[in-house]
Structure 1
């Protein structure tokens, strides 16, 4: 597949994800962590305009100088920007304006790719494709939050279907030893997956399957959210302050549990893997079971022995740089390194991860209170 073909494929997928939305859905921002779909459409377009077209395409005319302020996310090097909490206040540019911007940049990229870019620019272009794939997954998170917190619980797509994953029963034993972790090879990876290095692991066991809704319901019914003994102090404070008593999107209606899905509100499927839990909840559940969460390196070493990809899996590891980690110069150096504080690593992928975007070495990261991402729990001991 040519670079132009890859670009078209990625850009069309973003638009397919949004094809189920009504215009009003594009502009909602219920909480600071959720960006309006309109903003994602504009930001992923801004990335290609800012990092490819403006510096490398001679004669390119910027679509609208104000859009740098509107659609810059966190790149201090690139200039001022709308603060994240105000993205939902932008009634203008309109959804139509943003799609026109997207079309304008797409046409310019097609002309730009008539000639083979330099290796350096090609590497940056591929980063842009992976960046948009990350936002495709975020779009699913944000759309689900927007619709799932509408009191009518409207469906995103009544025909939406989740991929099925076969579980590996029981526990998988891994011997103690020195193992190599981190990305190797010449194919794409993010800078936080480098450098490959050795780690020592004690012998451990890891579950071949994810925790199910039915198993997590046992924790709820046992009083798990009322018993401080299985919680970190910070997690226990979070439970009390936010009055948490179940995973996000669970609703107890007339004594029966329901869950909001992208198909709408449905009875809770006890066999499905539990999702939308914070690190605090994952840790508390593991403690209640007399087990723990795996470290990210335990997960990576064991991942060839079980199926993964249903949902991102919380690990016990803090998000830190690998030995020899170096940030790239300029704005691209802000991509991962500056977030390596106060966050937990998640491993795997989810049903919303684009095909070809997942790797066994992929390091996702979120703050421990986050629940709107597609995540789950795998236990270790």
Structure 2
């Protein structure tokens, strides 16, 4: 990776974050309606803090922190870096203003440009590459957090006209057969990957058939109309408790209005399209639907070996695999080692990518992970029999 190539990528990625925020009003940058959603302003600042903290302060001679308080405000979960504001308090940070955050981004971008004009070693370039993929992760979170903020506004405001990311449809039907055998799993090659994809290893898989299509709204409505949300026999015990405690009766963003189902999209409130691919369900809902269909979710290993012949990328697809380390996994020393490893407990793996995933950020070996009840991401269901 050369300085010239990574400089172009840096400019492109940083510009895209700001393009995602272009439709927002000033007031949209600040709200944090629930703890798992971060304000857009925080995302813009945190992704900038990453470059300042891990790159500029380490490798740019004479660099001085833009504002020492920003380390406390915009550190996310890196204990090695120091104290930080509580995640639940991110929406309380009305100051610095969004204008100040954009000034912070401009300052860091200017210093990064200067750094990339000098001879840069491979270690520094690798960290910059990590920072770019980190920002791309936050770009997807920007999309989904903005949707949550606007989608829980009682007026259901439009983020951008015509920007309905739920409109996609399947291109194939039927099932793909995979033969019993031993398969290699995990990343290989010289391109970028996260550390949780490393540790290429062999797994044995039995024969299975995996759906070429993702579950549609029409299929999921059949489940709902058949009493899927009221039949405890379909649900994992923990999922049944979650459903009842939170009065869950449909995917997130669905609203039953005058006898018809609508859902909130970034283009505003629209009637549910029965032919479109369903989205915004938890692992619990995905598992219950699979039980109702007398099928199951794929393991992440089944998904990876089948994905070569699948059309994927519309939704993050729940798998039946817990998020655990691959053989030989070891965390990098220091703060960078906190990136993935410490989250390998009580979470489920999702594979693929979604309509909100940033360009050039998807890989067959990518291991996304969320708690089983989370559903504000563009999640979907692919079945196995």
TM-score band, normalised by shorter chain: over 0.9
Of 116, 120, 133, the match for 2:136 = 133
| Match for residue 347 of structure 1 among 338, 344, 351 | 351
Q: Distance in 1 between matches of 2:58 and 2:266?
A: 40
Q: For 1:379, which of 368, 372, 383 is the aligned residue? A: 383
Aligned runs of 1:207-226 on 2, under 5 Å?
A: 207-226=211-230
Q: TM-score scaled by structure 1? A: 0.99
Note if contact 2:170-2:214 (Cα within 8 Å) is conserved in structure 1.
no
Q: Which structure 1 residue ranges, 4+ long, deviate > 6 Å from structure 2?
A: none
Match of 1:78 in 2: 81
Structure 1 pair 165/58, CA: closer, same or farther in 2 (3 Å)? farther
Residue 87 in structure 1 maps to residue 96 in structure 2: no
Kept after mapping to 1: 8 A contact 2:215/2:380: yes
The residue aligned with 1:300 is 304
Aligned to 2:302, what secondary structure does the other structure show?
helix
Distance 2:360 2:169 in 1: 17
Residue of structure 2 in register with 1:311 after alignment: 315
Structure 1: segments with no counterpart, 5+ residues: none
TM-score, length-scaled by structure 2: 0.98
User: Counterpart in 2 of 1:334?
Assistant: 338
- CA distance in 2: counterparts of 1:298 and 1:55, whole angstroms: 41
- In structure 2, the partner of 1:45 is 48
- The CA distance in 2 between the partners of 1:165 and 1:339, in whole Å, is 33
SS at match of 2:317: strand
- Give 1:305 deviation, angstroms: 1.4
Find the counterpart in structure 1 of residue 35 from structure 2: 32
- Measure the CA separation in 2 of the matches of 1:96 and 1:229: 53
Count residues with an aligned counterpart.
381
Q: Give the one of 18, 29, 35 matched to 2:21.
A: 18
Q: Which runs of no fewer than 5 residues in structure 2 stay unpaired?
A: none
2:163 to 147, 152, 160: 160
- Answer yes or no: is the 8 Å Cα contact 2:169–2:276 preserved in 1: no
Which residue in the other structure is 2:361 paired with? 357
**Cα deviation, residue 168, structure 1:** 2.2
Shift of 1:165: 5.8
Contact 1:167/1:306 (8 A) holds in 2: no
Corresponding residue to 1:230 among 230, 234, 254: 234
* TM-fit CA distance, 1:161: 4.9
Q: Which residue in 1 is equivalent to 2:113?
A: 110
Q: Alpha-carbon deviations, 1:3-39, whole Å to 9, x = none?
A: 1111100000000000010000000000000000000
CA deviations 1:196-252 (Å, max 9, x no partner) are: 110000000100000000000000001110110000000000010000000000000
Cα offset, 1:167, TM superposition: 2.7
